[in-house]
Amino acid sequence: MKKRAVIYCRVSTADQHPETQLYDLREMAKQRGYEIVHEYSDTISGAKSKRPGLDQLMTDARRHRFDAVPVAAFDRVAKSVRHSLEVLDELNHLGIEFVSFRENIDTGGPLGRAIVVIVGAIAELERNLIIERVKAGMRRAKLEGGQIGRAPMKIDRQQVIRARRSGMSLGQVAEKHHISRASVCRLVKEARATAHLVNGPDSVVTGHEERPAAAA
């Protein structure tokens, strides 16, 4: 049986035309004895990882609707090594050959598979180096007394509680103080717990205020 193949081509702008890519890929598929079952294309920058044509291709790949993917060049799939590797790795796990016309690489052969492994190792090394640089930067910032992570929010707790007790709704208080409704609830509950500790277990809440219960 002939291998089922799909063609993927991409151009960056609308004034570019994919016909040249399609012609070369159709000829290559014919020479390899592939049966072209579909053609996907995108007109979008290669820097963008989300593309309708490529996304549909990967969806169909997961449904095992073809056996090979000829492309004009690696950079037609993605500009970044990381994204290219993600696509290649998934196709490889699905048992689908990836064939690059310009680089003359076919992952169906031993050399092509070896290249994928080498590229993967380089990409993993790059990721690890980035992680180490981030950790080193965080350690340096900590030693220098810098802020690590998001700065804590400055909230006037008493104003939030007074606003809630004045009759404002949770949403109104949250909007006024630029916090979430959940934060308002938490601050009010903490205030009630503190009042109970200070005023004793008999303190009660009437309306929006807290006060000790009247003696019997």
Active-site residue set:
12
Residues facing residue 9 across a β-bridge: 41
| Cβ proximity of 141 and 148 under 8 Å | yes
Which DSSP symbol is given to 37?
Answer: E
- Residue 180 phi/psi, 5-degree rounding, is -85, 160
- Closest by CA to 25, choosing from 78, 57, 88, 71, is 71
- Closest by CA to 196, choosing from 184, 215, 213, is 213
The enclosing H or E element of 8 equals strand 4-11
| Cβ proximity of 57 and 8 under 8 Å | yes
| Cβ proximity of 214 and 205 under 8 Å | no
- Residue 194 phi/psi, 5-degree rounding, is -65, -40
SS3 content of the chain, % helix, strand, coil (to 5): 50, 15, 30
Q: Which two tokens stand for residue 151?
A: 């700065």
